[in-house]
Structure 1
Amino acid sequence: MTEVWLTALVAAVWGAAAGLLLGRPAHRLAVAPEQPWRAECPDGHPLPGWLGPARCRGCPGPYGSGHVALPVVAAVLCAALAAATGPRPELAVWLLLTPVGVLLAAVDLRVHRLPDVLTLPLAATAAVLLGVAALLPEHAGRWTGALLGAVALAGGFLALHLISPAGMGFGDVKLALAAGAVLGWYGWGAVFLGAFLGFLLGGLHGLALIALRRGGRRTEMPFGPCLLLGTYCALLAAAHAA
């Protein structure tokens, strides 16, 4: 038990440190499609580099929103994953991928966009790192399952996109590649659970908007955060049961 809590504590510190670096990329990537990535803060000061907090030398304080939420969310998610997974090889993969998922959710919430510069490398990185984890002792998943999960979930989302492009964006299809890979590592049950929870959360979000009179049946809303949260919850359950 002491080892589990120590692992969770280290993971929380990692998540908080990584989350502190997400403020700048969240601001730079939160632009509408076809627009160039932001190179300046809201007050027009140039921003050097891509990683860093939501601060610049010319501003008295942090710019934008989420400069506190991002490290807190990343820390909590990483700690919970560490507690559920334990000191197994795949934990390193989850800890490396989680900050990117937090960044994707932040961008999608702001501008309803999942940038290719994040989704495609995330899927490729998940596949490669899980392949490495499968070579190490005491892992609790299957690499072939991860690959099949990625293809299956992305294929299902692609079918939904072709049926209703307005209801399922192509960015969600690309995100499903990474989600399917991490869930498929633990088997088809995790894949189905993650997809179910993602759509359930999306439906609840839509109903909440209608109930609060902030939207209607045709209101466009980001599905990426719902898919990411559903994937995370299913991953927690699968890792704990493995």
Structure 2
Amino acid sequence: MPALLIALAAAYGAAAGLLLPRPAHRLSVDAGEAWRAHCPGGHPITGWLGRGRCPECRAPYGPAAPAAAAVTALACAALAAAAGHRPELAVWLLLAPPAVLLALVDRRVQRLPDVLTLPLAALAATALGAVGWLTGAPAPWLRALLGGLALAVGYLLLFLLNPAGLGLGDVKLALGLGVALGWYGWRTLLTGAAAGLLLGAVHAAYLLLVRRAGRRATMPLGPFMITGAFLALLLGAAAAP
């Protein structure tokens, strides 16, 4: 049964990942710009979910669909393997595709759109609240809400101390990630927060070492925040009773 659960989660992740290239392309714009409504050839794009290829000129756009599908499938499979049949697995699978989408957009344009970060936080809080209500155990949900607030405040302080190093989008992303991490406890929250910052620091050091970026260069922090939270969630789920 666990193998079947993992296979089903991977299939779901692959199907969801195939739908990410189009929204990733449309949302990958600078702050203040309208969402992209055309392919690179100038043809209008209809809808938000789907392949990143224009049906008229066949021009590809957005991230490669196979890569997006593979990453989302692996993430969902790993979450299923760690959480097993726990009811919160449904929440993790629900949050995985938008989290991957956020990482794709931030990697492309160094921006985390409010249209994704804020709904992600609301979805995490609402879905975990439903799990707490259905299981009759509201304590993890209350801790999750406090975790989201704590991580967002922590990133807000970092933003105020170094506004050139991260943006308000990172603060809003931290809100949703903190809610998810807080479900498994404060240790999981701290692990996820530390892992995200550490991964970002290691990547920045690598770019400096190979001289692909200067000391004042900026880089997207969102993908590392999401990866750190993902790894901590795996540990938290595996250690949960």
- Structure 1 residues 94-113: aligned runs within 5 Å: 94-113=92-111
Cα distance between partner residues in 2 of 1:140 and 1:217: 46
| CA distance in 1 between partners of 2:143 and 2:156 (Å) | 19
Q: How far did residue 65 of structure 1 move?
A: 3.0
Structure 1 CA distance for aligned equivalents of residues 32 and 63 of structure 2: 23
Q: Is the 8 A contact 2:22 2:62 kept in 1?
A: no
Partner of 2:155: 157
Give 1:1-242 correspondences, 5 Å limit: 3-60=1-58, 62-137=60-135, 142-242=140-240
Instruction: Return 25-34 or 139-148, whichever deviates more.
Output: 139-148
Distance 1:140 1:132 in 2: 9
- 1:89-122, Cα deviation, whole Å (9 max, x unpaired): 1000000100000000000000000000000000
SS at match of 1:108: helix
Q: Which amino acid aligns with 1:228?
A: I
Q: Give a deviation string over 1:39-80, Cα, whole Å, max 9, x none.
A: 001111110011111122113353343322111100000000
Percent identity, aligned pairs only?
Answer: 57
In the alignment, the residues of structure 1 paired with residue 138 and residue 208 of structure 2 have an alpha-carbon distance, to the nearest angstrom, of: 42
* Structure 1: distance between partners of 2:81 and 2:149: 29
Q: 1:138 and 1:20 mapped to 2: Cα distance? A: 36
RMSD: 1.4
Instruction: State TM-score, norm by structure 2.
Output: 0.96
Structure 1 stretch 132-141 or stretch 209-218: which is displaced more? Answer: 132-141
Contact 1:147–1:181, Cα closer than 8 Å, also in 2: yes
Rate the CA distance shift 1:140–1:54 in 2: closer, same or farther, 3 A.
farther
Structure 1 residue 218, shift from structure 2 partner: 1.3
Q: Which stretches in structure 2 are left out of the alignment for 5+ residues?
A: none
Superposition deviation, residue 138 in structure 1: 9.1
Question: Greater CA deviation, 210-219 or 86-95?
Answer: 210-219
5+ residue gaps, structure 1: none
Task: Give the secondary-structure state (helix, strand or coil) at the position aligned to 2:133.
Answer: coil
CA contact (8 A) 1:209 1:215 kept: yes
- Cα separation, partners in 2 of 1:86 and 1:206, compared to 1, 3 Å: same
Return 231-240 or 48-57, whichever deviates more: 48-57
CA contact (8 A) 1:90 1:130 kept: yes
Where 1:233 maps in the other structure, the secondary structure is helix
Structure 1 segments of 4+ aligned residues over 6 angstroms from their partners: 138-141
User: Is contact 1:89–1:139 with CA below 8 Å preserved after alignment?
Assistant: no
Q: Is the contact between residue 90 and residue 139 of structure 1 (CA under 8 Å) also seen in structure 2?
A: no
**Would the alpha carbon gap of residues 143 and 13 (structure 1) be closer, same or farther in structure 2, given more than 3 Å must change?**
same
**How far apart are 1:217 and its partner, in Å?**
1.8
Give the C-alpha shift of residue 140 in structure 1: 11
Contact 2:193/2:228 (8 A) holds in 1: yes
